[in-house]
Amino acid sequence: MFLRIDHVGIACHDLEEKIAFYESTFGLTVVSREVNEEQGVKEAMLHVAEGEGGASYVQLLEPLSPETAVGKFLAKRGEGVHHIGYGVADVTRALQEIAGKGVRLIDSRPRHGSMGAAIAFLHPKDVGGVLTELVEAPRRSS
């Protein structure tokens, strides 16, 4: 079902400070910055690698307010890994398959994600404590 790890989502208090850290420490490059009101985040994607199944990224997430998903996570657990995003070919079909296996879907239909992706989250309580995101990247035009 999974094509690759699309991204690892990391919660932080200060997006610009963490971007500077990842750039200077690991030499990563920011390829996208977006505010996603629906998800309650300001986020940046930093390119890590290119594989057969597509690219992989680190996603740095700063909450837009304390009441958001990432805001609540930071208050409870502090900065750190927030979710894993797996690349899938078809997020709607993946959701149907996974729902049939008894895993609670946070999103029963795809939402708008970073860089034009269609995304959906699965409940961490049904995935061994790991907030899991499905990511269908837009088709490449090349």
Binding site for Co ion (CB under 5 A): 9, 59, 85, 133
- Who's near 140: CB < 8 A, 6+ residues apart? none
HEC letters along 20-36: HHHHHHHCCEEEEEEEE
Q: Is residue 15 classed exposed, middle or buried when 0-12, 13-18 and 19+ CB atoms within 10 A define those classes?
A: middle
Is-catalytic flag, 59? yes
- Please identify which of the residues 39, 43, 62, 82 carries the catalytic annotation: 43
132 binds, among Co ion, ligand V0V, none (CB under 5 to 8 A by kind): none
Strands (E) located in the chain: 4-11, 29-36, 41-51, 54-63, 80-87, 111-112, 118-122, 132-136
Tell me the closest approach of the beta carbon of residue 75 to ligand V0V, in angstroms: 8
Is-catalytic flag, 13? no
How many residues are present in the chain? Answer: 142
87 binds, among Co ion, ligand V0V, none (CB under 5 to 8 A by kind): none
Is-catalytic flag, 47? no
Tell me the closest approach of the beta carbon of residue 120 to Co ion, in angstroms: 11
Among residues 21 and 111, whose Cβ is nearest to ligand V0V?
Answer: 111
Among residues 56 and 59, whose Cβ is nearest to ligand V0V?
Answer: 59
The residues with which 136 forms a beta bridge, in sequence order, are: 118
| Residues lying near ligand V0V in the complex (CB under 6 A) | 9, 36, 39, 41, 59, 61, 69-70, 72-73, 76, 82-83, 85, 106, 113-114, 117, 119, 121, 124-125, 129, 131, 133
Is-catalytic flag, 67? no
Measured over the CA atoms of residue 111, residue 114, residue 120 and residue 123, the dihedral's sign is: negative
Catalytic residues: 7, 43, 59, 83, 133
